[in-house]
Amino acid sequence: MSYENEIKRRKSFAIISHPDAGKTTLTEKFLLFGGAIQTAGAVKSNKIKKGATSDFMEIERQRGISVATSVMTFEYKDYLINLLDTPGHKDFAEDTYRTLTAVDSVVLVVDSVNGVEEQTRRLTEVCRMRDTPVIVFINKLDRDGKNRFDLMEEIEKELNITLHPMTIPINSGKDFKGVYNLDKKNLVLFTPNTKADDESSRIEITDLSDPVVNAKLGDKDAEILREDVELIGGVYGDLDVDDYLKGKVAPLFFGSAVNNFGVKEMLDSFIAIAPTPLPRETTARVIEPNAAKFSGFIFKIHANLDPKHRDRIAFLRVCSGKFERNKYYHHVRLNKDVRFSNPYSFMARSKDVIEDAYSGDVVGLFDTGNFKIGDTLTEGEDFYFTGIPSFSPEIFKEIVNKDPMKTKQMDKGISQLTDEGVAQLFTQYGGTKKIIGCVGELQFEVIQYRLLQEYGASVEFRALPFYKACWLTSKDNKKLEDFLRFKQQNSAEDKDGNPVYLAQSEWFLNTEITNNPEIEFHFTSEIH
C-alpha cells in the first residue's frame, strides 16, 4: 500500500468517560466489530475498585492491565483504528489529559441514567481547549434514563458543547424499542446482545409515514418518532462535518453498549467522519502527517513494578514519516541517536514486534530510563512537539526522607517517577524542600510504595496548605524575582526550573493576580 494511503486509512482516538459509564464495555464491542477479539469479557477494565486505595496489589494489578489495554489497534472496513484507553479514575486524570494529546479525536461516553458527571466535565474541558473533535455516545438506553431532550440539554449546557443528533432513541428502559438513524434514514429495532454482523434488526425506510413503522413500534411510539424526527431534523439539519472536525459540533449517538446496540451506527459514522492523522505543532514549524521524515513524541511512560525487571515502556505517537525497527533516530533532549530492536504495536492485546509504523500509530518502546514525557524523536532535526500540557496539581505534600542513608536513591526515584508523569515535583524557592504535587491521593500512595520497592527509599509526606500551582512569567524579570523572594513561603521552581506560585486559596490567588499586573499567572504549563 502506498505511503499516502497508509496514512489515510488511520484513525486514532481515545474513549473517555466518568467511571462506570460503559467505556470498557464499548471498547470491547468496538474490538468485536474489528474482529480483534472473539469473546466478550476479553477487555479488562482498568479501573481501580472502590476501597482499594490502600491495596497496593490492586494498584499493581491495575497497572499491569492498563499496559495491556492502553492502546488497542484493530481493523474495520479497511481502516486501521488506534483506540487509546484512558483511566477513568480521577486520580489518574493527568494521564488521561496527556493521552488526549496523542489522539486526533475522542468518543465521550455518557451514562443516560446519571447524565453529566464530574469526570465527563473535566475531560471535555481538555478536549475543548484543544478543539479536539468529539463524538458523544449516550449509553445504557436499556435502563430507565433521563428524557432524551433533557439529557441533550444537560450535556450542551454543562459541557458547553453543541450536539448534533445522528440517531434518536425510541423510549428507554423496558420500553426501549430502538434508534432511528437520522443520517441513514433507517430504523434499527432494539434486540439485546446484537451480533456484530447482524443486519436483520435494521429496517430501511424511505418514508417515515410507511405503515411498517406503526407495525414495528405501535401507533403511539410511531407518532412520537415522527414528531421527534420532524423537530430534530428541522432544528439541526445535516451534520456539517467541518464543524465537527473543528471541534465546534459533537455528533450524538444513543445506544446500549452492553447489548452492542447502536454501536455499529456510531462506528460506521466514526470511520466516515473522524479525522485521519492531523498536523502537529512543533517549536520549529507545523509537521504534516505525510512529511517524508519520521518524527514523533512520547506521551506516556509505564514502569514495570517488578523490581527484577526495571524496564519501562515508553509510548510513542508517530507524527510524520515512517518509523522503522533498528533504524537510528535523534533523541532531541539528550542529543543522541537511539534505535529500537523490539518496538511493538498493540494488535488485539497481544504485543507484536513491528517493522514499521506510520503517522497516527502508537508504538511501544522498551526504555531503560532515557525517556521522559514530551520527548521528541526525529531523523536528525532539533525541535519539540508542543502542546503537551502539565496541569496544576490539586494536592501538595512535602516529601520527608525517613532514611538519610538512602537520600541518593530517593532523589533518583523521585526524578524518574516524575519523568514518568506520576506526579509533579517542585522545589522550594531558595531552599531544598521538595514538594510533590498530584491530582489525587492515590498517587502519593503509589509514589511511597514505588520509592520503597524500586529504590529502597523510605519516605513520608507532610500535607501542605496549597490548592493550586501557577506558573509565572513576566516581561519584567526584576519584578518576578522580587515577587518570588517576597513570597518565599509560596514560591517554588518546577522540575525544569520554571518559577511557580503555590496559592493557599482562591482568594489569595486572586489578590496576587490583582496586585501584580506585570506578572502573568498560568494554570497549565507546556512541557515545551
Among the listed residues 128, 110, 107, 132, the one whose alpha carbon sits nearest the alpha carbon of residue 119 = 110
Instruction: Report whether 351 belongs to an annotated binding site.
Output: no
* Structure-block grid coordinates of residue 60: 499493581
Give the residue from 80, 122, 85 showing the smallest Cα distance to 106: 85
Distances 334 to 175, 220, 258, 380, 381 between C-alpha atoms, Å: 61, 68, 47, 12, 13
Taking CB under 6 A as the rule, does residue 419 contact ligand GDP? no
17 is in an annotated binding site: yes
Check binding of 23 to ligand GDP (CB under 6 A).
yes
Judged by CB, which is closer to ligand GDP: 7, or 266? 266
**Residue 23 or 450 with smaller CB distance to ligand GDP:** 23
With binding defined as CB under 6 A, does residue 21 bind ligand GDP? yes
Residues in CB range of 306: below 8 A, 6 or more apart: none
Give the dihedral of Cα atoms 170, 172, 177, 183; nearest 10 deg.
40
Among 9, 16, 19, 468, binds ligand GDP (CB under 6 A): 19
Would you call 144 exposed, middle or buried from its count of C-beta atoms within 10 A (0-12, 13-18, 19+)?
middle
d(CA 200, CA 308): 54
Q: Is 20 annotated as a binding residue?
A: yes
Binding ligand GDP by CB under 6 A: which of 256, 409, 418, 525?
256
Report the alpha-carbon distance of residue 314 to residue 302 in Å, rounded.
6
Q: Which stretch binds ligand GDP (CB under 6 A): 197-205, 253-261, 311-319, 376-384?
A: 253-261
Span of 18-26, 94-102, 127-135, 278-286 interacting with ligand GDP by CB under 6 A:
18-26
Q: Least CB distance from residue 349 to ligand GDP, whole Å?
A: 16
Please name the residue that has the C-alpha cell 501542605.
Answer: 464
User: How many residues can be counted in the chain?
Assistant: 528
Q: Return the number of the residue (264 or 322) whose C-beta is nearest ligand GDP.
A: 264
Candidates 21-29, 31-39, 100-108, 489-497; binding stretch for ligand GDP (CB under 6 A):
21-29
Q: Candidates 99, 139, 282, 295: give the one binding ligand GDP (CB under 6 A).
A: 139
The strand order across the sheet containing 167-170 reads 167-170, 178-181, 186-189, 202-204
DSSP string covering 38-71, please?
SSTT-SPP-PPPTT-TT-HHHHHHHHHHHHHTSE
What amino acid occupies position 35?
G
Contact mark string toward ligand GDP, 179..208, x via CB under 6 A: ------------------------------
Report whether 172 belongs to an annotated binding site: no
Angle at 202 between CA 199 and CA 206, to 5 degrees: 135
H helices within 258-347, ranges in order? 263-273
Q: Is 307 annotated as a binding residue?
A: no
The answer to the question of residue 264 lying near ligand GDP (CB under 6 A) is no
Distance CA(372)–CA(391), nearest Å, equals 16
Distance from C-alpha of 392 to C-alpha of 350, rounded to nearest angstrom: 35
What is the total count of residues that contact ligand GDP (CB under 6 A)?
Answer: 19
Q: Is 89 one of the annotated binding-site residues?
A: yes
86 annotated as a binding-site residue: yes
Residue 502's H or E segment, with its range, is strand 499-503
The answer to the question of residue 379 lying near ligand GDP (CB under 6 A) is no
- Known binding residue 514? Answer is no
Q: What is the amino acid identity at position 158?
A: E
Q: Which stretch binds ligand GDP (CB under 6 A): 120-128, 144-152, 252-260, 446-454?
A: 252-260
Member of 16, 22, 247, 447 binding ligand GDP (CB under 6 A): 22
- Contacts with ligand GDP in 41-70 (CB under 6 A)? 45, 47
Q: Which is nearer to ligand GDP, 87 or 289 (CB)?
A: 87
25 part of the interface to ligand GDP, by CB under 6 A: yes
Q: Is residue 142 annotated as involved in ligand binding?
A: yes
Which one, 111 or 494, has the nearer CB to ligand GDP? Answer: 111
Is 18 annotated in a binding site? The answer is: yes
Q: Which amino acid is located at 429 in the chain?
A: Y
Q: Which residues 26-45 are close enough to bind ligand GDP by CB under 6 A?
A: 45
- Which residues in 75-114 contact ligand GDP (CB under 6 A)? 88
Phi, psi of 125 (to 5 degrees): -60, -45
Q: Does 494 bind ligand GDP (CB under 6 A)?
A: no
Residue 220 Cα to chain centre, angstroms: 42
* In contact, 100 and 131? CB cutoff 8 Å: no
Q: Does 17 bind ligand GDP (CB under 6 A)?
A: yes
169 binds ligand GDP (CB under 6 A): no
**Interacting residue ranges for ligand GDP, rule: CB under 6 A:** 17, 19-25, 45, 47, 88, 139-140, 142-143, 256-259
Annotated binding site for GTP, which residues? 17-24, 85-89, 139-142
